Every structure is written in structure tokens, then in C-alpha cells.
Structure 1
Amino acid sequence: MDQEKNLFAPIFKVTKEKRRVLHGHNSMIIWFTGLSGSGKTTLANELEEILNSKGISTYILDGDNIRQGLNSDLGFSQVDRKENIRRIGEVAKLFVESGIVVLVTFISPFASERKLVRDMVDKDEFIEVYVNCSLEECEKRDPKGLYQRAKKGEIKEFTGISSPYEVPENPEIILETSKNSIKECTESLYEYLKRFL
């Protein structure tokens, strides 16, 4: 508490609005949530390519690369998972302040944690994308072999196997990756996003 008394929010002359003018578009968090193997990173990669071709400044924050660096000190307990999402939310908020569209691909299984990040930014600056893919299909894909390892007990607290996933109740958009191609899903997402950019 004493530390908070010594902290003051700095006032910068270059605002978020001025940075957006410089970039020529709005900034926001596009938050991809879904089970491991549902297609979050693949969709973000495809979307980023489209946005880049339209002159939109972007960056992808992915669960794997963040855990190898910024969050390398965190495990997969409920407490560590919550801190993982809190930290990435704070980083994503900085990207929004910088005038950039940030694509975040995290399983983020709990609704309360996704809401925590949503509440960090202004209205219309957080777009929740639910990448809906059945557990059975994700297990079939299993690109990293994680489901098999989780079933053998080699990975504890694994979402969908030994830890729950709370399906978003009101996401901005749902992409059905077990029913539609990555191209179809990406095009649908881009069409939806155009009104906010």
C-alpha cells in the first residue's frame, strides 16, 4: 500500500489518439480464446497478414513465446495462470496505447480473467474471438502432442483434460474451426473487424 502512495500516473504529450492518427487506424486487442489446437495462432497469423497488407500496424502475442520470455517464471497452477493473463493483459494494453492492433492468442480458460483484460481498456478496444473447436477435434489435431501427454498424467492442470475451459458467453465473434476452413474463418473475422479499424 505504501508503494502505491509513491506512484503517480505520468502525463505524456503524445496521446493514444495522436498515435492512432500517426498509424492511420484505431488500436485494439483482438483476443483469441479456445482450446489448445483449436487454431488460435493459425488464425492470428492469417489475420495479421491481411491487416499488414492493408497498412495496419500489428503485433502477435502468443502463449508459447510469452512463456519463454516475460512469463518464464510462471507455472500452470491456477494462481500462475491468472498472473500469466494479468501480465499479458497489461502488455496488450500498452500496445493499444501505442496505437497498434495487438492479436493475443491465449487459451485463457476462465471468464473472469478474460473480463479482467477487457476491463483494462476502453469500450470497443477489446474484441473477444472464441475459436470454437470440439475437444475431440483438438485431440485429433494435437499438433504439439499435449493432449496425449496430459492423458498420461505427464502434464497437470491441462485445459480440457484435467482443468476446465469456460466457454465465452458473449464473445464479439465465434469462429467454428472444426466446420469452416481457416481461410473462411479469417475472412469472416476481417469482415467483422473492418468497422472498428
Structure 2
Amino acid sequence: MTRRPVWMWASALLAVAVVALLVWALSVRSDLDDTQAELDQANAQVATLEAEEEPDTTMQAALDAAYEELSTRLGTKGEDLEAAMAAVEAAKRTADAAVEKANTAKEAAAGLDGATEQAQATADQARAEAEAAKAKGAVVTDCAKASFAALGELLDGGSLTAQLSTLRDTLEGIADDCKTAFAES
């Protein structure tokens, strides 16, 4: 057997070391690529979350602008919910009085015998019924204003999602009050 020189063994050992370093470098590079992909995915999720939050503020601004325009057109600008509900109660009392007046005029017209007196009583009844219809219209208008004022309080309060249940309860209460007021009238 011939003995091989040491430099051949050293070269073979060096070649094995180079291959091992190459495998290790490729493994590190693969791990780095995986980490970069995870980072890109996390950044994309953050961007998505931020994009989802922006429409909420954009939607809030759009709702605020629409509310301001409608309140200006309806003449309810600056009207608060308590004042609107007080107006509903006042309109309800007016409607109740007008209906009572119409009923009294109707009863009076039925009990009269003379044509002139009956014509006058019928005219009084018609005026009272017109007044009752106008009062019922005021109830409807004031109920709409109260609902609009409740919406305004929602928009003034910050987070829309947090206040939706409060708005629903408020609107249900207004609707119940208004149904009662209109039914009694």
C-alpha cells in the first residue's frame, strides 16, 4: 500500500467541511426566508386591522356629516332628546284635548233639532276634528324629531358599536311612547 500524502487527506477533510458549511448556510437561508415570510404575513395582518379601523372613523365622519345635513333640513339642529320627548308629551296633550273637543262637538250636534243649530254644531265638530288631525300630525312630527335626536346622541357618543344597544332601547322607548300617544289621540 502506498501511503498518500497528508495534503490529500487535508484536502478531503476540507472538502467535507466546505460541503457541511454549504448545507448549514442553505439551512440558515431557508430559516431566514421562513422568518421573513412570517414577518410579511404579520405586517399584512396589522395593515388589515388598521384598514378595518379606518373605515370605522370614515363611516363615523360620513354619518356625522349626513346627520348635520338632515338636522339642518329638518330644523332639529341642536335639539336634544329630552326636549324632543317633552315636545312629544305636549303634542300628546294637545291631541288628547282636540279629540275630546271633537267628541263633545259630535255629541252636541247629535242632540240638536234646528237646521241652523245642527249646521253650526257640525261645523264646530269639523273644526275640532281638523284640530285633532293637526295635533296627531304634530305627535308624529315630534316623535320623528325625538328619534332623530336619539340618533344624534349616538353620533356624539364615540364608538358606534358600543352604543347601538343603547340607541335601540331608546328608540324602542320612543316608539312605545309615540304609539301610545297616537293610539290615545
TM norm structure 2: 0.21
Structure with more relative contact order (C-alpha pairs < 8 Å, separation 6 or more): 1
TM norm structure 1: 0.20
Structure whose CA Rg is larger: 2
